[in-house]
Structure 1
Amino acid sequence: MHLKFVIVLFLIQLRCIAVGSCAYAQDLRSDTLKLGIKDAEKAFLQNNLTLLAQHYNIDNASAQVITAKLFANPDFSFSNGVYASQVPHAYNEQTYSISQVISTAGKRNKNIQLAQLGVEQAKYQFFDLLRTLKFTLRNDFYTIYFQEQSAKVYTEEIASLSKTLVAFKEQYAKGNIAQKEVLRIQSQLYALQSEYNDLLLNIDTTQSEFKLLIKTIPSTYITPVMQVDSSQMQTVESVPYQKLLDSAYVNRYDLRYAKSAITYSDLNLKLQKATAVPDFSLALNYDKLGAYGQNFLGAGIEFNLPFFNRNQGGIKQARIAIDQSKTQFQNQQNQVESDVATNYTGALRLQHLYSSFDPAFKQDFTHLIQEVFKNYQKRNINLLEFLDFYDSYKTNILQFNNIMLHKYTSLEQLNYVTGTPFFNQQ
């Protein structure tokens, strides 16, 4: 009778493994959005609000160029007589004046150049944000995909052990098995459920960030669709290290922004020096009943004398800003070189680790666990040995998925630090 129970239990477990992944999929089938990486990127570029908001900074900077190109408006004044003692018809006295400020030392052109450089910097910031958000998007996509593959392992084992626990409790009630076997199955099931819950929390967190990036309905569940074909993936060694570094120098927009800050500081120093040169104002005056006679017309010029304030503080600050921006650029360049070197080394290490795995490992291990079931059915192994094999199967599959995830994300990290999509172009 005990052998018959084991056979029935074995058949139940096999059926649970066959349908376990289906139960996971059915649980998520409602409000599910299936997306490939290209579709996700398209939705991201069209809908991401952070990216759209950053783009307005370019429009604002362009508007500042328009402002810099405008000339100062002329000033106009008018005065009409109201009363003067011993002067008849004083109300006929009228004066008019018009004046125009003339900018000197090329201040207007220098302000235009600064505003135009501001547009370039706004673009650099936009494209650097795009680089960062796109990296986050692709990382989230791969993270969700491989964590879902790991979740399927848990649903298979939980479904199988849940059925097993019910059967064991029935047999324990009949006195066919010891209580310790029931408790051992129950303990294993609780541990799996706890691990599975933690994994789902991680998936939910990544899902939330991913949905925000592509601006989809929060209740929608994203199911990444991809073909995992490692034989078609570009290896790290296929792109020379120097090529990666040279690409980072050219295409890292944060580095280009830091370099443009030096140019901005140089232009600002020229502007501050030009500010020390006073502007002047040309004026034309008309007085209907002036002291020198009727219909007096006069012209004049006005400017301040730079005896005390020659913008010494502004010029000093501009010089300090040049040294500061050069230091920041050097620091940013060092950071870029460090990023490329560190991530290249890490990607190579993961590449070698993955290459050391037998391609048939996953299939062979799945076959092994099926043989373990048969041996457990024949009582060639006891319950503890069976559960150990089962736990080893779960651990190895999870490790395999984790290595695959790190392999993809390490290449994405290289894309990110070089600012160039060398790898993982699906």
Structure 2
Amino acid sequence: MKKYLLLLLSIFSLTNIKAQEPQVLQLSAEQVEALFLKQNLQLIAEHLNIDIADAAIVQAKLWDNPEISVGQINLWSTDRQREGEKEAIPPLFGSFARNTQFSVELSQLIQTAGKRGKLVKQEKISKEIAIQEFEEVFRGLKVELRKSINEIVYLQAYQKVLAQQEESLGQLTIAYQKQVAQGNIAKSELLRLQSALLELENEANDTQIDLNEQQKGLKTLLNVPPSVVIEIIDNTKTVQDPTNLSLAELLAMASEYRPDVKASRLQTQYHEKSLAYEKAQRIPDITVNANYDRYGGVWKDFVGFGVSFDIPFFNRNQGNIKAARINRDQSIHLAELQQNQAQHEVAEAFGNYALAYRFYKRVSENSLLSELDGMLTIYTKNLLNKNISMLEYIDFMDSYKTNKETLLSARKKVDTQFEELQYTVGSEIK
């Protein structure tokens, strides 16, 4: 465990590396996923939407601010407003507000019908939707990451196959060049070997280009510097036998765990709360106020209280209530559609995985494929000893490469289809 933690610490420190020299980093699939969870920028950014939803809940709980207004202020006074030299309106204190009339009103809006509580409930569901949207992004990125890992493992293994063939052909080419120089072998046979070698080198270059593309995608997901070259350690996992899986259980898991399905159901709940809130808007809010009027009426210092509210005569929020009800009904249908799509996706992915598994099982149990490496050495020696013809050797080399590629491709497909099945289910399949 200690070695594992030290390795992860060294991985995380790579984000600060500015050197241009390529640095090879060997990681297992588990270590790649640990780094992905730690450093993927899209996940980090998406998770902030949950914090934004939390802030919206806090805002919904807040009361409206009280409002204060000052009015009816006379900025100057005339002689008629005075009684000779005696001040008509004495100052409040010192010389402040001498001969000045004004009024002050303090008001507070009070929401009725539990509007604040209904809005808070609505925002809490928005947070749950944000969580499921984060899980949906995580689900998509995780399957992309794992498919990339499978592709890199395949390309790395195929590179070794090509390198092994290149090594054999290289040895033969050197031997044949000596034989041609001595006049023992026709140049056409050497040309055939060199042509096959060039073809292999060209395919090796194309494979490296594909690997570079996969490396780019993986390093973007992991947020590591471009100078780092990631080499995946192929820890062969046990392939799940689809006969041990129940399609009915997988369908039930998708209904329970898939974040897009859960989010669609939450949308219905959100619109239910929105409808309740719009219905509450029919009941007018109340504004209570207190005011002070200085020399503005019968009394020189008047303090009064009041209440105001709308009379719901013309506008009873009919339009918004109707729209909220339609949104609620629409979300019910969309949730059902999402559920149906998820079920069909699981069934399709399960069928594809079963096909990939059967083919992989058939290929991997072929005893001849396990003997190919030994046969490559034998064929190379036989050609050097002139026990077989050049045509037989080239035909074997083509068959060797094709069968190796078929085996590696079958393994990649079964792993990829299994990840696709887990993606459609929305959960790890044990």
Residues 209-254 of structure 1: CA distance to partner in whole angstroms, max 9, x if unpaired?
111222222211111123225xx44322222111111111111011
* TM-score between the two structures when normalised by the length of structure 1: 0.86
| Cα shift at 1:173 | 5.2
1:119-268 residue pairs with structure 2 within 5 A? 119-169=127-177, 171-172=179-180, 175-228=183-236, 232-268=238-274
State the Cα RMSD in Å. 2.1
**1:83 and 2:76 matched:** yes
Larger CA deviation: 275-284 vs 63-72: 275-284
Match of 2:338 in 1: 332
Query: Does the aligned pair in 2 maintain the 1:99–1:284 contact within 8 Å?
Result: yes
**1:300 and 2:306 matched:** yes
| Cα shift at 1:371 | 2.8
Distance in 1 (CA, whole Å) between partners of 2:289 and 2:338 is 51
Q: Secondary structure at the match of 1:92?
A: coil
1:307-386 residue pairs with structure 2 within 5 A? 307-357=313-363, 358=365, 360-386=367-393
* Counterpart amino acid of residue 322 in structure 2: K
Give the % identical residues. Answer: 33
* Counterpart amino acid of residue 428 in structure 2: P
Q: Secondary structure at the match of 1:296?
A: strand
Match of 2:41 in 1: 49
Distance in 2 (CA, whole Å) between partners of 1:70 and 1:227 is 54
Distance in 1 (CA, whole Å) between partners of 2:230 and 2:402 is 25
Q: Secondary structure at the match of 2:81?
A: coil
Query: Does the aligned pair in 2 maintain the 1:236–1:411 contact within 8 Å?
Result: no
| Cα shift at 1:392 | 0.7
| Cα shift at 1:369 | 2.5
Larger CA deviation: 387-396 vs 410-419: 410-419
* Counterpart amino acid of residue 148 in structure 1: Q
Query: Does the aligned pair in 1 maintain the 2:152–2:211 contact within 8 Å?
Result: yes
* Counterpart amino acid of residue 47 in structure 1: Q
Query: Does the aligned pair in 1 maintain the 2:239–2:415 contact within 8 Å?
Result: no
Larger CA deviation: 76-85 vs 323-332: 76-85
1:68 to 60, 69, 78: 60
1:281 to 271, 275, 287: 287
Change in CA separation of 1:361 and 1:410 when aligned onto 2, cut-off 3 Å: farther
Match of 1:113 in 2: 121
Residues 355-400 of structure 1: CA distance to partner in whole angstroms, max 9, x if unpaired?
2232644321222233322432332321121111011101110110
Match of 1:406 in 2: 413
| Cα shift at 1:66 | 0.4
Match of 2:50 in 1: 58
* Counterpart amino acid of residue 87 in structure 1: Q
Distance in 2 (CA, whole Å) between partners of 1:46 and 1:371 is 49
* Counterpart amino acid of residue 140 in structure 1: S
Query: Does the aligned pair in 2 maintain the 1:97–1:284 contact within 8 Å?
Result: yes
State the aligned residue count: 393
Residues 392-424 of structure 1: CA distance to partner in whole angstroms, max 9, x if unpaired?
10111011011111111221112111112115x
Match of 1:20 in 2: none
Query: Does the aligned pair in 2 maintain the 1:142–1:408 contact within 8 Å?
Result: yes
**1:421 and 2:413 matched:** no
Query: Does the aligned pair in 1 maintain the 2:172–2:380 contact within 8 Å?
Result: no
* Counterpart amino acid of residue 364 in structure 1: E
Query: Does the aligned pair in 1 maintain the 2:76–2:100 contact within 8 Å?
Result: no
Query: Does the aligned pair in 1 maintain the 2:22–2:227 contact within 8 Å?
Result: no
Distance in 2 (CA, whole Å) between partners of 1:170 and 1:306 is 104
| Cα shift at 1:336 | 0.8
Larger CA deviation: 167-176 vs 98-107: 167-176
Query: Does the aligned pair in 1 maintain the 2:49–2:130 contact within 8 Å?
Result: yes
Structure 2 segments unaligned to the other structure (5+ residues): 1-20, 83-87, 90-98
Match of 2:85 in 1: none
* TM-score between the two structures when normalised by the length of structure 2: 0.86
Larger CA deviation: 252-261 vs 163-172: 163-172
| Cα shift at 1:161 | 2.6
